[in-house]
Structures are given as C-alpha cells and as structure tokens.
Chains A and B, each alone.
Chain A
Amino acid sequence: MAFITANWNPLGEAFYRKIELYEMGWSLRDGLKDCLVAAAPYGGPIGDARPQLEIYSSSGTNMASFPWKSGPVRQLGWTVCDDLLCIQEDGTVLIYDLFGAFKRHFSMGNEVVQNQMLEAKVFHSPYGTGVAIVTGASRFTLATNIDDLKLRRLPEVPGLQGAPSCWAVLTQDRQTKVLLANGADLYILDNTSCTPVTPPGLSPQACSIVNMAVSFSYKYLALFTDSGHLWMGSANLKDKLSEVDTKVRTPPKQMVWCRRPKSQQPSVVIMWDRLLLVAGERQHKYTLDEESVCVAELDGVRIVGGSRHELLQEVPSACQDIFKIASMAPGALLLEAHKEYDKSSQKADEYLREIKEQSVLGEAVRQCVEAAGYEHEPETQKTLLRAASFGKCFLSNYPPEPFVSMCRDLKVLNAVRDYTVGIPLTHTQYKQMTVQVLIDRLVYRKLYPLAIEICRYLKTPEYQGVSRVLKHWACAFCQTGVNFLDDMGPIMSGENQTLHSTVRTSYQRSMVTYLKNEMNRGDFFMTLRNQPVALSLYRQFCKHQEQDTLKDLFNQDDDHQELGNFYVKASYKEKKLEARLSLLQSAVDEYNKAKNEFAAKATEEEMKLLRFQRRLDEEKGEALLGLSLQETLHALLTSNFHKQAEQLYRDFRVPDKRYWWLKLTALAEKDDWEEMEKFAKSKKSPIGYLPFVEVCVKQHNKYEAKKYVSKVTPEQKVKAHLAIGDLEGAAEAAIDRRSEGEISTVLSRCSPTTDRALLERLNRARSTASKK
C-alpha cells in the first residue's frame, strides 16, 4: 500500500501513472521492430502483418497466424466489432475475423487502383468503422461505414504534391472531414470544399506541421511542428488550450491524446524512438527501452511493447484524494481508520470521529468505492472496498446500490483482465462500452462459458444474456458446417454435457427457428427427423404459425394418421360444403393409407351424413347441417319425418337400444303419448320399460307413466313404483323380492309421520330378509 504512489509522476496539477497490464506472452524475435502493427481500442486485440499475419490478444496470446499471400499490406486496422482490416496498395480492403478467417473484401475504387495508395487510416465514428485513403494523385477517398460502403472522393487540395505532411480524420457536425497539413498550411476537406484554416495562436516559428492527433472523442486536436512546439486546442480550431515547447525537433513516431473524461488537463503522449513524453501544461519524460506502439483509449494510452503492455493515464481524482501523501480527504481518513481497526487499534475510533465530526462519512465511503474502480490490483480494490464497507456500518441510510454494483463490476473486470482472456478494460471504458458489448466481444472470442458465467452473475435477463450467448454459440457451430447432423444432434437432444441445461427447450425452439430460416426445407426436415424433441417443438410451432408447413412435414414423414387428422381439422374451418367434403375425402384416403380402418369409416359416415343433411335441408327446408347423427335423428323424429329417421337408423346401423331411447325421448317431448304407446307395443323394447316410466315422469305425466309400470322387469319394479311416487307399490315389490337393499331404499323414502303402517311392515320384512 505504501508504494501505491511509487509510479505516480506529477504533471502540473495532476499526477500520471504507468501501470503494467501484462507481460506479453508472445515471443517476437525482434520485438515490434519493422512490424506493421494495429491494436484495437477498449483493450481489443492486436494485429501484426509481416510476411506472416498474426493476431494476438492484448496479453500476447496468439489467436491466429498465417502466411500473407495477397498483395502488399500498407495499413492494418480494427473495426468496431473486432474484425481486422488489411488495406493493400491498390486499395483493396480484406476483412478477417479475430481467428484469421477471411470474411470478405471490398475495393476503395478505381482511382486508388490506378494511382496506388500512399497512406490510409482506419477510423471510428457513430456510423461505424471507416477507411480514408490518400492516393499517389494526392486525392482523398473516404468510406464512412465499411458495412454500408459508399465511397466519397474529396475535392482536390490546392498545391498538394504527393502525401500531405500529416493528416487526420475528424467527425464534426455529423460529417466526416479530413484535416491535413501541407507544410505550414492547414486545410479542412469536406464533401464539397477545401477550406484553409489557421489554428489560433500557433507559434510563428513553425514552418511545417509534422504530426497531428485528434482526441478519442474528436473534441480536441494536437499539432506538432518542426520547431518542436506542441499546440493543443479544440478540434474546431476555435480555441487554444495550451502550447508547449518540447525542445525535440525530430518528427515524432506517434502522437496520441491522453486525457480522461472530465479532466481539466489537456495532455498528449508523444513517442519517439527511445523517448515517451507526456506533455500537458508541463512535461514528463519516460525512456523507452523497446520498440512500442501507442493505443489511444477513452481514459488513457496503452503502450504495447515487445515484452510489456502498459497503461499510461492521469490518476483519477478519487485515487489522488485517497493515496496522495498526507492527504486529509475523507476517503483517506476512512482508509486509515479501517487499517487501524484491522490492527485492533483504538486509533480507528479517532479517525472515524474526525470524519464524523465533519459529517463527511458518506463522502468518504463514496470516494473509497469510486477509487476501487480505478485500481487494477485486486488487493488494492479489496482494501478500498473493505474500508468502504466498514464506513457504511456507521451510516444509517447509505444506499447500498453503488457499493454492490462496484463489487459486481470489479468481479467482471478482473475476470476479463485475466491473462488468459486478455481484455484489459478500465472501469471507465467498461461503463462506456456497456455489458452487452462486452458480452458480444467475449462471444466473438468464442469465450462462451465465461460469457455465460458473467450473464448469470450479473443476472442479465436470460433472454439478453445466456440465451443470446447460446444462440451465437449454436450459430458458430452451424457455420463451421462440418458434419451438420453429427454436431447438431447433441445440441438438440441436449446430450452435450457442458452446455446441456442451458440448452433448454425454448432455446431449442429458437434454434429450430433459426435453422428453418437458414436451411432449405428438405434438408431442414431431414435434419429434424432424427431429433424427436426438436421435431415435436417444430410441430407445435407450425400448429400455431404455419399450417401448410405442418402438412409438408407429415408428408415428408409419411405420417398418414396425422395427415388425416390435419385434413379433418381443416374441414371444420371450411365454410363451403363441397370444399369440406373434398377435405374429408382426403382424410379418408390418408386414414386408409395409415390402415386406420375405423377412422376412415367414421369419416366416410360423416360425409354421408353431411350429404344427407344437405339433401333434406334443400328438400324440406330443415336446418340440419352440422348436427350430429343423434341430433339429426332427434330433429327428424320431433318434426315427424319418421320415414327419413328410419332410413338413417338403418343406413348408419344405429344400435336398437339407442334408437329406442331417442324415439322415446322425442315422442315424450312432443307429448305424443299415443304414438308412444304404439311404439311400446311395436315389439319388445330392447331397453326395457323403466325408461318409458322415467321419461313420462320427466315430462310430468304420471298418468302415462303408470301404463308402463306393469311391463317393467321384476328387478326394476321398485324403482318404477318409486318413480311414479307409489310407495305402497314399491314396498310391495320390495317385500316380494325379499331384497334387503331395496327394502331399505323404500324405507328411506317413507316419512315417519304419514307412512307409519308401511314403515312397520317394511321393517318387519327387512328383519326377515336379513335373517335369511
């Protein structure tokens, strides 16, 4: 802890520090000498093209390497989504992914082919990644977004021969412009014009501007002149911030802004062969012991060398407050207090009291939490967070949110900063790029398990988190396209051990949808056939979404039973009878093929019934269509179409029993008692005569009911008598049959007051029956 300020260097009001991020894992024979290097911002990957093209992570782990066989590469660059751009002399831009797989290429236009490219720059703007090129004819060509390629040739620059002495791409007022220097003259090139500009207060000793740098946010501009002066100002060239004489007149190799958001200090890092200069209002020099490359970041500069990878940045004010020697800031006191507390020293209380007296405990906690975010060493982070948590104990209503989310953020950051992952993000960068993008980057690096872990840890809604990662994983799987069936099998049936439970049904569902859109239908169906779970899911999907596809699917499988069902279902949606009948006919054919005799026959019957109903509706003006056979018969019987009913009864081989029931109820409903009596006598009733009794009673006609009581079989006599309310008769019948159960039934219907005599008789009969 005591040495935390050891690497701090004061520069005007502020301090700068250089933190080692990684010892590089690559083994480069000559360091970065004679290499064409490009490193992506936000701790992105590093590309390197010599005869061999190599891609490394920020910690120097090799991700791809292959011999370069295309034309000479003049410039490398990274897109916003971590693709590598290789720009060749003739203006051809080749795009590779992180793992060196070729994605596509495009050309920067004929003019570049003819005149060859002199210099190129890759730049990022809200519109995406762009490429700017200056050709041998001193003309600029610009593509603002390589994913939506529109080439723009910028106007001629008066008096420019060959390449300008230095240039940069700016994004201002939603326009992309080129700022260039030709000797001491400065021009802004936009779509239509070339305007000479003068930076306010530029030292008059300068004869030529030899280097320029635009800040990460396009807000600031730095110019370096041959007189060794560094001019810093706003990118719109309206204000000057400061000017420094570096006393170095050699043109620098690289110059980048190094400024953290909201800092008051303008500062630029300038690199020569062996010297690194941080220049703000004052300057600080570092010596470089190896060939290095500077990478501008939102809140600092990364310096990548042959053996080391470092971060140079202004020390954030929270850290200054806490760690500055002899600081009395609340955070510093709290840290001290906690240290003493750990030592079980009473001084802890003294420090705490001091903070509390100034009532700045809240501020102290806030400072510690914030500072923890800026520290790279987990040990330092922990110390600060523990101090914050200690301070929180003495506050009653301090919101827990900032503390909790900082702990979470740091856990994630430490995980991705790990050597094996190699994404050295700072907390500021992480917040700017968002978790979503970080997850995307991990996915792009094929670090699926880590991405999933992070999503789970941060409780990202499954849909945006885990499921999304899995989708990418599956897509990557498909794209490799080796043996599709072999690979997909385990995913779909979920036997892949590591990823199984995450491969859940709804995910499979999205997989299926994805595949459906990507593959031709035949292949798709064939694929599904071997995956029962996926297949049934797809069926469900089709049932709701695509009826016709469902049919094709059944066809493919020769699933005639389901095809039959499909037609039957379709027939119910059809309003026109002819169409309905033809669908049903298709169903019959399918059922026959499926050897489902019953279904085929039943469907034929249905068609027969529909035709019959239509005929009768037409002839007699009935409204039978759509009724069931039973309902049709009932309607016919109640409307006195006995002949037609008889015909249906025979044609459909309606069982006698049911027909009798039907006719009986229909007659009762019509109160056609005469016809009923005739019917009862027509032949022996297959349902017996109890139903006659009951149906009459139901129609409240006990008189008619009585007529049938005598015809009822002995077993049903009691029931029949009870139905018409004849207790005496019921008792008689029950006693005759000597049935204990029946006697009890009758007994239960007797009232103790009015049927006393009967009760006694029954009780006596019951006791004899039970003795037997």
Chain B
Amino acid sequence: MSAHLSYGRVNLNILREAARKELREFLDKCGGSKAIVWDEYLTGPFGLIAQYSLLKEHEVEKMFTLKGGRLPAADVKNIIFFVRPRLELMDIIAENVISEDKMHSPRDFHMLFVPRRSMLCEQRLKEQGVLGSFINIDEYILDLIPYDGDLLSMESEGAFRECYLESDQTSLYHTAKGLMTLQALYGTIPQIFGKGECARHVANMMLRMKREFAGSQTQILPVFDSLLLLDRNVDLLTPLATQLTYEGLIDEVYGITNGYVKLPPEKFSAQKKQGEAGKDLPTEPKKMQLNSAEELYAEIRDKNFNGVGAALSKKAKIISAAFEERHSAKTVGEIKQFVSQLPHMQAARSSLANHTSIAELIKDITIRRLLILCNRGKWIFSLSLSLSLSDTASEAFFDNLTVEQEFMTGVDTDKVNTYIEDCIAQKDPLIKILRLVCMQSVCNNGLKQKLLDYYKREILQTYGYEHMLTLNNLEKTGLLKPQTSTRNNYPTIRKTLKLWMEDANEQNPNDISYVYSGYAPLSIRLTQVLARPGWRSIEEVLKMLPGPHFEERQQLPAGLHKKRQQGENRTTLVFFLGGVTYAEIAALRFLSQMEDGGTEYIIATTKLINGTSWIKSLMDRPEAQAS
C-alpha cells in the first residue's frame, strides 16, 4: 500500500511509519472496542497514513461520519472523535454527547484533535457542559503527509488565505514544526534558502526552534542538502494558468483530492467482465487512486497531454506484444514463465484501459488536435484527425488557452479583453472569469484603475453584488490590483527568467516550459536558477518580486558532514508556502531527471492546488448564498 513512498531518493515511508506509530499509541490508550466518529475532511489525509486494517487491529469496530443528533448504536466501549479544531464541529460533538447520556449503556468518550488542540474548542465544549465527559483529549500532529515518493503536503486548505489575507500565521507555525519533525527523521538540513515574507518567517521559526532544542541534536546523516522556501505570492501567475500535463489536466477538469479522482462512469462501463457488459451502466462515479505505485501512471502523469497519446499507444503495443508471446511459448517452461507474468500483464492492461478512458474524457473537453481511438478488442491505437463539429467545449477550452498565452506573452494586457467580456456576457463560471482577470492583472503589474473598475462592475452586475467582498479579497492578496506605477516589470521578469519559450517541445521536452506548452513556471525557474548558476545572477529580478530573499546555514554536528561521491546529485527540498500545482511538480520532476541537472527535488507544500481551488479559497461567500 505504501511501497511507492520508499522508492524515491528519500524514503518518505519513514515519515509515514512515524505517523502510524503515534496513531497506534493513541488508539491503545483507549482500551477495548472502539468506534471512530470522523470529521469527514480528515478521512482523506488519514487514508494516506493508515488503512482500515490498521484501525481494525486496534479494535476499531465501527466508523461513523460526524453529524448532529444522536450517535448511531454500536456495541463498543469507546467512542473516539477524530476532528479538526473547529468551533462548529464542537457544537455537533456536544449534541452527540448530550443525546448519548440519555441512553443507559455508558460509552467512554475520547477526542483526538488533528493537527493541534485548541483552547477555544475546549472552552466551547466546557460551555456546552460536555468537556468533563471526555476521558482522553489528545492531539495528533499530522503536519506533513506523504503523498508520493517525492511529495509531501499538509493539506491545509486555508493556508494561503490565512497567511496572505488574514495575517494568521498559524499554518506557518505548523510548517516550521513539520520541518522540524522532518529534520528529526532525516537529519539537519545544512542550507536554507528562501524568497518571500512567509518564507523568512518560517526560516526564523525553524532557526529559533533549533536553538532551543540545542543539546538534543539528532545524530543522523543529513539526507537533504538544502531547503528552499518559496512564498506563493512570489509567483501568483503560475496557478492561474491552465495546467497542461496529464495529471495537471485531470486535476483541472475533475479535481484530485487526497490522491483520488472521481470520474464520470460512462467511459468505464465497457471494462466490466464480458457477461456483465451492457447490462446496466454504472451510475456511481468511478473513484481511482493516482500515484506512482501504478507504473503506467508514473510514466505518463508528468507528460504534456499532447505527448500522452503516443505514450499510451507505445505501451499498448508492448502489452499486446507481450500477450502475443503466448503463441510462441512452446515448452512447458516457457508457458510457465508466461503464466507467472500474467498477473503483472493483466494489471498493466487494466491500467492502460483506465488511462485511455481518462485521456479520452479529457480530450473531449480539451485538445482537439489529437484524438486517440482505442479499439479495445484488438488493442490497436490510431490517431485520427476528425472531430465532431458541435464540440463547443473543446473550442472554449482552446480559446481560453489562447487568451492565457496572450497574457503570458504580454499581448494587449492593458486593454479590455473581448474574450473575457464575451465570457462574462454569457455568464461563464465566475471562477474562470476571475482566473483570467487576475492573470491579466498579474501580467500587467496591475490594471489601470478605469479598466479594473470596468471588469469589477461587469462582474458585480452579472454575478451579483455580493461578490464585492471576493473582489476585495483578491485585491488584498495582490492578485488583482490597480496599477500604481506606469512601469510594468513583468516583461523584464519574463525575459530575464525566460518564462516564455516559443519552441516548447511537448513530446520530447528539453525545458520545463513544456508543462504549460510554452510558459515556464516562475517558481520553478527560481528553483532552477538557484541550483545553477545561483541567485546572484538574477538579483535585479529578485528585487522586483515581493518579499526578501535569503540564505541561512545550519551548523551540523561534527562528523555528520556529508562527503559527496563524484557525480552524486544534491537533494533539495522545495517547500511551497501557500500551495503548489501538479504542473509545477511535474516541472520539478523533469529537472530531477535531467541528466546533467545535478539536483534531485523533493516537494512539500501546505496544499496541492489548482487555479480553481485556489481562487475558491479566496472567495467570500455570504451566508445567504451558502444556504
């Protein structure tokens, strides 16, 4: 279940094991049979740490979702609430506990706060008169959750909003704590680089925590050579752009949560067994786990979508060739060998079928140039150049992409954009509009007051005046802003950092710009330049970007200095404060794999985001609308 975590440069399974141990310890504290009541948000992240089997080994017999009223009947000794420290959840728990008392079978109550206890919450329970009913109240510090062999996330959905909009630095504290835990397991990180206010803050906290823990130095040979802390607001542009890698597109179109994606079932119906085929179409969305444990997915997820078709077809040929081998198998030995490989081949085949279906789904709404047809019976792929004429969805996608690319290359960013105007007039989804307007603003270093007011007025009149608060939030975070100086420094940044590459090669990339078919993510360029030739070469540009940039060194205990073998790569942990997109991750993996790169990257973040989920987290929904 977790083997894929240990294959990378850094064995992240150690972190997962540490988290599992702590969970077991808590469960054993509540002796006897138990039922867990889940804050639904937590089930995803927890699933990455421990499956039901682990819970079951520790006498967890039932699981419920937290909701008001009376708890479902269960013949267990303990009821354990796994919750985030949120006041509204405390009220629900209080309701559960109070209605429980009326029954006569007494059950013990316990509470596990994730990731931190909160005094306010306990105060609230006290006010409701139920605090005394809890035998154990504990916290489960789940800061960094391993998502894949090279990826850690805190999955703290509000981190960007809290840091940049509400000046609440709680999540930065958790970040620093998480990094301390990481250093306890993987050794002190000798070099820390950073860019941005929040990065500075996290580094300061880390250094101070280290000073205070002086004496309890870990005697572990450092696994990471350096840490790079990057504020999301240093690069507001990248998440606004539509991701064009396979994984990025899946996330843009269907949304990946906690490593799972839910897909419309229609395309998957044919995969049922022969007998069942055609009986009835499944109506439940198909849920699939996406990580490097699946060989094919690991191969194609970071490819530009335009390169996915070819990869799938190549794979199909390999698989059908492998299946063909059964005809050439003559001797018993050969047949035996063939049979022994069957399970693996069948898994590969079903994996291929799944991804072909996903690619088709995405293709339907996105790329019209490439069409992969799959004849499932014969496993033959062919490329075709026909497309149904009424395919307006892909048309819209294409137009949207064109406008994005215009903005990113600096075309007419100071004028009213007719595509945006038309989209507003046709009342396209608000988030799409906001992404585009913000992008224009970012690429123009702010919009002229008149233009900004025009867009805002259009949005308010079309989508409702209540969105004024959302617009206000976007302005506060700098995503949308009036132009203060006449000088637009975006072109300078773009040119110096080579953010736009005309000849991006989508099939066989030679530069990170392939992930956005031309646009090289600013954040990743900064990372790339840092590794070689170093930030000193781009001082001017760094000054244009918000927040300080810095370098710190952490003393290593004597004897732990790493002696690098010749040709051995450096390992850098890149921490994105405020979120990272799958395309950025793909770009970093691309850099890791470059033969002369010299650096391998492990990625950590407060939250895996895409433009839509990011903008959504900044929206203010008046209660009237929410209901």
Contacts and interface: CB of A to CB of B under 8 A. Distances in A.
A573 B623 CA distance: 6
Interface in A405-428: none
Given A510-B119, A540-B168, A501 B465 contact: no
B119 A537 contact: no
Interface in B548-584: none
A90 to B, nearest CB: 42
Interface in A454-498: 461-463, 467, 497
B52 interface: no
Contacts of B386: 748-749, 751
Interface in B98-142: 116-120, 123, 138-139
Interface stretch (B263-271, B454-462, B534-542): B454-462
Contacts of A526: none
A572 interface: yes
B205 interface: yes
A505 B173 contact: yes
B212 A501 contact: yes
Given A505-B170, A532-B167, A749-B387, A628 B462 contact: yes
Contacts of B168: 505, 536-537, 540
B170 to A, nearest CB: 5
Given A461-B139, A500-B208, A748-B385, A657 B461 contact: no
B462 A630 contact: yes
- A interface, over-half SS: helix
Contact of B461 (A463, A629, A687): A629
B468 A657 contact: no
B200 to A, nearest CB: 13
Interface stretch (A173-181, A281-289, A597-605): A597-605
Given A572-B624, A628-B465, A513 B119 contact: yes
Range class of the A interface residue count: 35 or more
Interface in B377-423: 385-387, 389-390, 392, 421-422
Given A652-B461, A655-B458, A749-B387, A536 B167 contact: yes
Contacts of B625: 572
B427 interface: yes
Nearest to B180: A501
B462 A609 contact: no
Given A540-B166, A569-B622, A603-B468, A506 B116 contact: yes
A583 to B, nearest CB: 12
B426 A602 contact: no
Which of A541, A606, A627 has the largest count of B CB atoms less than 10 A from its CB?
A606
Contact of A661 (B426, B453, B620): B426
A652 B462 CA distance: 12
B2 interface: no
B63 to A, nearest CB: 24
Nearest to B472: A565
Contact of A505 (B166, B169, B456, B465): B169
A541 B464 contact: no
- B interface, over-half SS: helix
A654 B457 CA distance: 9
A629 B389 CA distance: 34
Given A509-B119, A658-B425, A602 B468 contact: yes
Interface string B476-506: 0000000000000000000000000000000
B439 interface: no
Contacts of B389: 722-723, 725, 749
Given A540-B168, A569-B469, A658-B421, A630 B427 contact: yes
A461 B119 contact: no
B424 interface: yes
A609 B139 contact: no
B257 to A, nearest CB: 25
A697 B395 CA distance: 14
Given A540-B166, A569-B622, A628 B426 contact: no
A602 B465 contact: yes
Contacts of A510: 119
Contacts of A506: 116, 118-119, 170, 173
B616 to A, nearest CB: 18
A462 B118 CA distance: 11
Interface in B246-289: none
A658 B117 contact: no
A629 B426 contact: no
B457 A602 contact: yes
Contact of A665 (B426, B457, B623): B426
Interface in A511-565: 513, 532-533, 536-537, 539-541, 544-545, 565
19 contacts: A501-B208, A505-B169, A533-B167, A536-B166, A545-B120, A565-B472, A572-B622, A598-B453, A599-B468, A602-B456, A602-B457, A603-B468, A606-B465, A628-B460, A630-B462, A631-B464, A658-B458, A658-B461, A722-B389
Given A463-B139, A506-B170, A572-B466, 7 more contacts: A540-B168, A544-B87, A568-B466, A573-B622, A627-B464, A628-B461, A630-B463
Interface of B: 87, 116-120, 123, 138-139, 166-170, 173, 176, 205, 208-209, 212, 368-369, 385-387, 389-390, 392, 421-422, 424-427, 453, 456-458, 460-466, 468-469, 472, 620, 622-625
Top 9 closest pairs, chain A to chain B, by CB: A572-B622, A661-B425, A536-B167, A572-B624, A628-B464, A606-B465, A630-B462, A629-B461, A501-B208
